Amino acid sequence: MKKFVLILGLVLILSGCESDKTPTTVEDFLDYANAMEMKTVDATGQFPEGAVESVTIAYNDKFQVEFYIVPTEEQAKDAFDQNVTAFENAFTGSSSHVSTELGNNGSYAATDDNYYYLVSRIDNTFFYVVAEKAYKDEIKDYLEHFDY
């Protein structure tokens, strides 16, 4: 009986690790930004036609959070990888990072002596942040709402 419970527990734990996440929407991003008294701007027009479906930025006087929706999951994965590389090339002084990739999502967060870097992806959507390290906890709290 103990063996069955242990195996069942492991199956439940492992299946939970592989569960896909649901991407947020522009509407949810805007609603939450407004609730948190952040200003928003639609930056979609700054990109070539067809390169993105939507780019929305929420910002305050401390940091900004960019939310992208691109046409395909492959494009989101490519953007994720390119941003990780750009972050790693930008590090100043010592740095540390945490990276995960499970199911339909991935996340990379890093800090160096001055900045906090984050790119987090679900399906064909991703968040992008580069901000002063002092605001790292506020940014993490803000993004917790979206489960990225």
Q: What pLDDT is attached to residue 2?
A: 42
Topology of the domain comprising 21-144 = Protein Transport Mog1p; Chain A (3.40.1000)
Model confidence pLDDT, tens digit, residues 8-42: 344 444 444 557 999 999 999 999 999 999 999 99
Give dist(CA 83, CA 41) in Å, integer: 21
- Could you tell me the pTM of the whole model? 0.87
Q: What pLDDT is attached to residue 19?
A: 77
Give dist(CA 98, CA 117) in Å, integer: 11
Residue with the larger pLDDT of the pair 18 and 137: 137
CA distances from 21 to 44, 74, 81, 97 (A): 24, 16, 19, 22
Contact 79, 97 (CB under 8 A): no
Q: What pLDDT is attached to residue 17?
A: 52
Q: What pLDDT is attached to residue 18?
A: 56
For the chain, what is the largest distance between any 2 Cα atoms, rounded to a whole number of angstroms? 61
| Residue 95, token pair as written in the block | 């740095």
Q: Which of 3, 4, 18 is nearest to 102 (CA)?
A: 18
Q: Is the pLDDT confidence value at 137 over 50?
A: yes
| Residue 128, token pair as written in the block | 């992008």
Model confidence pLDDT, tens digit, residues 59-110: 999 999 999 999 999 999 999 999 999 999 999 999 999 999 999 999 999 9
Q: With 0-12 CB in 10 A as exposed, 13-18 as middle and 19+ as buried, what is 9? A: exposed
Q: Is the pLDDT confidence value at 127 over 50?
A: yes
Q: Which of 96, 143, 95 is nearest to 121 (CA)?
A: 143
Q: Which of 141, 91, 90, 98 is nearest to 120 (CA)?
A: 98
Q: Where in the chain are the domains?
A: 21-144
